[in-house]
Amino acid sequence: QSVLTQPPSVSGAPGQRVTISCTGSSSNIGAGYDVHWYQHLPGAAPKLLIYNHNDRPSGVPDRFSGSKSGTSASLAISGLQAEDEADYYCQSYDISLSGNYVFGTGTKVTVL
Amino acid sequence: QVQLQESGPGLVKPSETLSLTCTVSGGSLSTHYWSWIRQTPGKGPEWIGNIFHSGSTTYNPSLQSRVTMSVDVSKNHFSLRLRSVTAADTAVYFCARMPARWEYWFDPWGQGTLVTVSS
C-alpha cells in the first residue's frame, strides 16, 4: 500500500546526525505536493514532527529538519538523543490514486 | 489542547462490520477535517478516509466500497464503519485531525486501538 519508500532502519551514536530518505514519484512528491514527517513511539500516538517540508510545530526541537528535492524528501536529526529512538514516517498526497493521502514504509531509528 | 481517543470492539468476526468511534476533547468538531488511519504490523500507515463537520466525506479508493464515516458534532465524536471485514483488516486504527483540505498533515492523533478480525 505504501507508495513512499524509506530505508527500514538507520542508526547513530548520541550526538551524531542521521538522515532518513523518503522516495516518491512524479504523482506525489515530484508533482510538488508537500511532505510531512511523524515520529511514532511504541504505544503512543504518532506525533507530527515536520509539515510542509521543513516547518516544525510548536514544541518540536530544531534538531529536526526536513528538505525536499525532485521526487524525494529527507528528514535530518542532528544531535541524536536516546529519546529519538522511534519509528519515523513520511507522508504526502498522491494524484494517481484519485486523491489519496499516502505514507512511507517507515524507518526505525536506533540510538547506539 | 485537542485530544482524540478511539473506542470500540477489539475483536470482530470475519464478514462482520468493524465499528469505531473517536471522541474529541479540548476542541470542537466544527472546524478542520477528521480522519481515520490504520496500520498493520511492519507496514506504513494507510489513510482510510476524512470527514468534515458537514458530513462531507472522502475515502481511500481501495476501501471506498466498504467504508462509511459519520460525525456527531453535538457529541463531539466521529465514527468509522468498515463492512465485510477479513483478516487483512486486522490493524491498529487511529483517528486524527487534518487542518484543511490542502493542509493535509495529521495532527494530533489518537493513541490507536487494535482491532483483530478472527472467528
pLDDT tens column, B2-52:
999 999 999 999 999 999 999 999 998 988 999 999 999 889 999 999 999
Q: Name the strands in the sheet holding B18-25, side by side, starting at the edge strand that comes first in the sequence.
A: B3-7, B18-25, B77-82, B67-72
Distance CA B76, CA B91 (A): 24
Question: Is B61 close to A101, i.e. CB distance below 8 A?
Answer: no
Distance CA B78, CA B67 (A): 13
Q: Out of A1, A6, A51, whose CB is closest to B46?
A: A1
pLDDT at A2: 76
State how far the alpha carbon of B105 is from the alpha carbons of A43, B12, B99, in Å.
21, 30, 7
Question: Is A93 close to B104, i.e. CB distance below 8 A?
Answer: yes
Question: Is B60 close to A46, i.e. CB distance below 8 A?
Answer: no
Identify which of A40, A6, A9 has the alpha carbon closest to the alpha carbon of residue A21. A6
pLDDT-derived band of residue A45, with 50, 70 and 90 as boundaries? very high
Is the model's pLDDT at A79 over the cut of 70?
A: yes
Question: Is A38 close to B111, i.e. CB distance below 8 A?
Answer: no
Q: Out of A2, A91, A105, whose CB is closest to B105?
A: A91
pLDDT at A9: 97
Q: Out of A44, A89, A99, whose CB is closest to B45?
A: A89
Distance CA A35, CA A51 (A): 6
CA distance A101 to chain B (A): 6
CA distance A2 to chain B (A): 6
CA distance B66 to chain A (A): 16
DSSP strand pairing (B18-25 vs B77-82):
antiparallel
Identify which of A107, A78, A111, A72 has the alpha carbon closest to the alpha carbon of residue A92. A72
